[in-house]
Structure 1
Amino acid sequence: MITTDHQPNLVSVAVFGEFTLADYKEFEEIVNYKVQFEGPVNLLFDLREMAGFTLDVAWEEIKFSRRHARDFRRIAVLTEDQWLTWSAWISQLFVEAEVLVFADETEARSWLEAAAEPAQ
């Protein structure tokens, strides 16, 4: 199950339990809409409560990342799981966004907000 929230230039997703293909499709729809009307967005992916994911989600994530390689500014991944940290690092091969892993949500949100601030 996932919960989603979107604000200007930000999509937040939290995964609870198993991350299924239906959940991923819901995430894709939101991102496609945001990118179409706002351009590149930041993404906050909270995986702290994720119990696992199905293989079809892993495959869909690879395809999605390749299609949206330039559609993200920054991607913050919230997790303490080493496997997911490694997976986030690997995803950088498919997207041009900055990808960082955080254990603290406040730090993750601050990092994402800093990308939205105009350069001085």
Structure 2
Amino acid sequence: MLHILPETAGDIIVVQATEKLTPADYQDIFLPLLEEKVAAHGKVRCLIYLDHNFKGWEAGAIWEDTKLGIRHGNDFIRLAVVGGGDWLDWAVKLGQAFISGDAQHFTESQFLQALHWIDAG
């Protein structure tokens, strides 16, 4: 599941991923928000918070993630991935492979630092 967090404003997108991400999370939540922000601001700063209940992606969601990276890779100024465990390094490597902007990972305790980092870029 994907939730838009209240820190989302202007050219900043902040989302929380919990349990498993589905194709609908990309098609119905993230992609429309990203396209709205890109239309209004040109490029975006994004923070993805993989919470402690995050279990990964459904097979179709991995494909949606890949398509999003290919289609919108040049639309990111900075991407911060916040969370722990095995997902963190994988998600950052994926972000670095598909986006032209900076990508960095942060632990859960560094959420505010990650938010400041995307805003400063």
Contact kept in structure 2, 1:42 and 1:112, CA below 8 Å = yes
Contact kept in structure 1, 2:12 and 2:119, CA below 8 Å = no
- Find 2:119's aligned residue among 109, 113, 118: 113
Deviation at 1:91, TM superposition (A): 2.7
Contact kept in structure 1, 2:79 and 2:95, CA below 8 Å = no
Q: Which structure has more strand as a fraction of its residues?
A: 1
How many residues in Structure 1 have an aligned counterpart in Structure 2? Answer: 115
State how far apart, in whole Å, the 2-side matches of 1:35 and 1:88 are.
Answer: 21
Segments of 5+ residues of structure 2 without an aligned counterpart are none
State how far apart, in whole Å, the 2-side matches of 1:34 and 1:65 are.
Answer: 16
Calculate the aligned-residue CA RMSD, in Å: 1.3
TM-score (norm. length: structure 1): 0.88
State how far apart, in whole Å, the 2-side matches of 1:85 and 1:15 are.
Answer: 15
Q: Which structure has more helix as a fraction of its residues?
A: 2
Contact kept in structure 1, 2:2 and 2:17, CA below 8 Å = yes
Deviation at 1:21, TM superposition (A): 1.0
The structure whose Rg is larger is: 1
User: Percent of pairs identical after alignment?
Assistant: 29
Segments of 5+ residues of structure 1 without an aligned counterpart are 116-120
